[in-house]
Structure 1
Amino acid sequence: MEKISIDKLHDEIIPNLGSDELILDVRTPAEFAEGHIKGARNQDHEQVAEIAGELEKYKTVYVHCKMGGRAQRAAETLDMEGLDNVVCVSDGGMARWIEMGWEVER
């Protein structure tokens, strides 16, 4: 499974994000409501297997959380579900996103 930093997601991926790509925020719904990356979809990391079938249609799914731990577990779960289109944002997460002052949607 490929891993990238939140900086790379912000600087390189999001400016060129296609309609066949998805940003998946695996924090809790309460955390997501406090602020998230514009256009991201929320699914708690503990329930990510429930949407594995829906995620197959995307070319790439970028999975992130607050710091990287839950994203790693969610990406591993999706990998076990047979998805090969998952990229784990394992370094930084929303904590770094907010620290850098990047735009959040509420």
Structure 2
Amino acid sequence: MFGLFKNKKKEIIKKYLEEGAQLLDVRTSSEFNGSHIEGSKNIPVQVIDQKMKSLDKEKPIIVYCAMGGRSNVAASKLKANGFKVVNAGGIGSMRKHLKP
């Protein structure tokens, strides 16, 4: 059952990337400054409620963090506010999705 969900998530991420998705890193600013995926926007999960207005509701969002917990919280908040979003999990998983 888990494998089916994992494959579905992979398909959604691929589709969103093809649609020009916004990449959202919800780690702290210091984590982001240490390393991040090029083209990502940094909005720490602690301030997502105040900063989500800076995101484009017309474009899907792929959200990631270090391990997947914070991105899960952020994805839930974004979905509740009408954004089209998928949680990629941790930055390592996100990097795998970007490989050809």
Match of 1:38 in 2: 38
**Whose helix proportion is higher, 1 or 2?**
2
Structure 1 75/15 Cα, relative in aligned 2: closer, same or farther at 3 Å? closer
> Could you tell me whether the CA contact under 8 Å between 2:16 and 2:60 is conserved in 1?
no
Give the TM-score of the pair, scaled to structure 1: 0.67
Kindly tell me the number of residue pairs found equivalent between the two proteins: 90
Displacement of 1:88 after TM fit? 1.1
Residues 66-81 of structure 1: pairs in structure 2 closer than 5 A: 66-80=66-80
Using CA pairs below 8 Å that are at least 6 residues apart, which structure has the higher relative contact order? 1
Give the unaligned 5+ runs of structure 1.
Answer: none
Query: Which structure 1 residue ranges, 4+ long, deviate > 6 Å from structure 2?
Result: none
Give the TM-score of the pair, scaled to structure 2: 0.70
> Could you tell me whether the CA contact under 8 Å between 1:56 and 1:83 is conserved in 2?
no
Residues 46-85 of structure 1: pairs in structure 2 closer than 5 A: 46-80=46-80, 82-85=81-84
Give the AA of the match of 1:44: P
Give the AA of the match of 2:51: I
Deviations 1:48-86 (A, max 9, x none): 111222324342011100110000011112223x22311
CA RMSD of aligned residues (A): 2.8
Structure 1 33/76 Cα, relative in aligned 2: closer, same or farther at 3 Å? same
Q: Secondary structure at the match of 1:38?
A: coil
Give the unaligned 5+ runs of structure 2.
Answer: 1-7
> Could you tell me whether the CA contact under 8 Å between 2:64 and 2:94 is conserved in 1?
no
Structure 1 16/79 Cα, relative in aligned 2: closer, same or farther at 3 Å? closer
> Could you tell me whether the CA contact under 8 Å between 1:22 and 1:58 is conserved in 2?
no
Inter-partner Cα distance in structure 1 for 2:34 and 2:16: 20
